[in-house]
Structure 1
């Protein structure tokens, strides 16, 4: 973990923060974390882009109808999972001879909807725990790129539990079809379809086979330098989706191109979390969000998320709501 002194420039007070330079001018794309050790800026990472001005502008432009939807998947999901993760335990404790009751939760945030915190990948220092995010929350303009709907329109068949990878040019085509124009500070959501597949398509035997696999496969966006360049240069504050790994997993050595040489692959978590300090959301429930976006014919919304205030925490349920 570290920072590149000339990799960021902070705007004057009252102005939205702008990151400089562009991706191709970074001295080291793996080390562009802003802020001195122990500072607020270090703890926030890319969330420092979400200044009061950016958040206020997002609220004023996105909140129109007042419709809202939570993006938190059932805490009991994934009820069977890989990576030796255990399902949630929920115990109800009787108090005062049965006059009152308490809850006791034992859960791994990675088992269901979660933000990967900045300690999740190659960063063990407790000073960059969830406590920084919890103080301000994650609020701003959310945009949904609905790959599930796009694939249905274009006759693309795939399994969400495969190495199916979504390239950048497809994400840009989805944005074009939806009429989405990005703004600095956006929170990017990509719908791959994992929660829908798990809830309505997979049998218990298929879920168990996934959990027991020694080589689990997860569909997601491509892990390439061109994808990183786009995410950085657009100025996204965070990225999230309903995929298990957000990016395709396991990381691919290369990705084919129809009329050009293969593109080298990389592991984006290494850059986004450990290099940039960018939150990565996974297993968000985007099904109802997708339906409302289609009904309102707009794929932008205001996002509020309240990560757990756990000093030194590694990950958190998102406690996320989209407001239209």
Structure 2
């Protein structure tokens, strides 16, 4: 365990009385309760609505822009809205209707889509945490299901993220390329999991270091497999499976501790669930050691207020990182300004 930080100032020079630094400056092991980091945050406030995005202060964003934007090259991280064209969990494909005006003099279009069916930010209303001693499941801030479904109640909705956007220094850990270099073969539609030790080795080989307020991206390879290797029959079989499997990060406390202590403001990847799904009870290490598993979604979203991005298209980003010779870039994302919204297309661009 680390030492207790100063009660007057954080490592970033922020006053502990500032909502921005409330609990966020503490190490994981010093948190009063890692499942409820929102304790003490005022309900319905900006700080509650932003969650972990309070780390993206003007100073953090300005520093990221000044150090990461050099060549001006850029790449979008949004997969086609038509993908996954055949999705699991009864998620319907997107609909796009072109509507004529004035007999074809002009046109409008109408979109009907579930953000969870393609690239998306999971908002704070998306996932809840189980009760520890009975009672109901709660969302971030202690928000209840009743509040989320109550007409006109917009607590912890997307509008908070939309007003300021998700902007800062992005870092890519390209596990897919790492696996190729090391001869690791797997399907992203399996329970193949990436341990913290492996993730840190990816960072070491890339020469990637982290800063407080970073936005972490992890490439598993779902987009490549779906677009280039899966047949229509394969996609249909996945969509109809009653027990789908998704490759992703290990769900362990050591992974949670690392994500928290590195100070990431948000996490995202091209995996369907970001973490391996279904959650594993244990993960085995060399020598037979077993590490207890957990479901990180129940910490990241309802416990920490941390945006989780899934199914981001990281193929172009991977190529550009290699061409630029660096895995850091400036990120700008504009979630939909939907009061009370649950999730959103990322509307995300990486700028080098």
- TM-score of the superposed pair, with normalisation by structure 2: 0.88
Residue in structure 2 matching 1:268, options 296, 301, 305: 296
Could you say which residue in structure 2 is the equivalent of 1:277? 305
- The SS at the match of 2:121 is strand
- Per the alignment, residue 319 of structure 1 pairs with 347
Choose which of 11, 15, 24 in structure 1 pairs with 2:14: 11
Report how far residue 135 of structure 1 moved. Answer: 0.1
- What is the CA–CA distance in structure 1 between the aligned matches of 2:25 and 2:268, rounded to whole Å? 23
1:201 is aligned to 229
Aligned to 1:3: none
Q: d(CA) in 1 for partners of 2:78 and 2:170?
A: 15
In 2, distance between residues paired with 1:226 and 1:275? Answer: 16
Q: Cα distance, 1:24 vs. partner?
A: 1.0
Task: Answer whether contact 2:20 2:47 (CA < 8 A) is retained.
Answer: no
What SS class does the counterpart of residue 275 from structure 1 fall into?
coil
The answer for unaligned runs of 5 or more in structure 2 is 1-6, 129-138, 140-144, 149-153
The residue matched to 2:190 in structure 1 has which SS? coil
**1:252-293: per-residue Cα shift (whole Å, max 9, x none)?**
000001025200000000000000000000000000100010
Residue 90 of structure 2 aligns to a residue whose secondary structure is coil
What RMSD in Å do the two structures reach over aligned CA positions? 1.7
TM superposition score normalised by structure 1: 0.95
The separation in 1 between residues aligned to 2:14 and 2:102, in whole angstroms, is: 57
Which residue does the alignment assign to 1:252? Answer: 280
Secondary structure, aligned partner of 2:60: helix
Q: Could you tell which deviates more after superposition, 76-85 or 20-29? A: 20-29
| Aligned counterpart, 2:132 | none
| 1:5-56 deviation line (CA, Å, top 9, x unaligned) | x9x979149x995523211111211000262101100000000000000000
Mapping for residues 12-31 of structure 1, pairs under 5 Å: 12=15, 19-31=24-36
* Cα distance in structure 2, aligned partners of 1:102 and 1:17: 42
Aligned to 1:98: 104
Q: 2:265 aligns with which of 237, 241, 244?
A: 237
Q: Distance in 2 between matches of 1:212 and 1:236?
A: 35
**What does 1:118-137 align with in structure 2 at a 5 Å threshold?**
118-122=124-128, 123=139, 124=145, 125=148, 126-137=154-165
Instruction: State how far apart, in whole Å, the 2-side matches of 1:60 and 1:16 are.
Output: 26
Q: Which residue of 50, 55, 65 corresponds with 2:56?
A: 50
What are the superposed Cα offsets for residues 118-162 of structure 1, whole Å, 9 maximum, x if unpaired? Answer: 000022443100000000000000000000000000000000000
Supply the distance in 2 between the matched residues of 1:220 and 1:155 (Cα, whole angstroms). 18
**What's the counterpart of residue 73 of structure 2?**
67
Deviations 1:159-191 (A, max 9, x none): 000000000001100101111110000000000
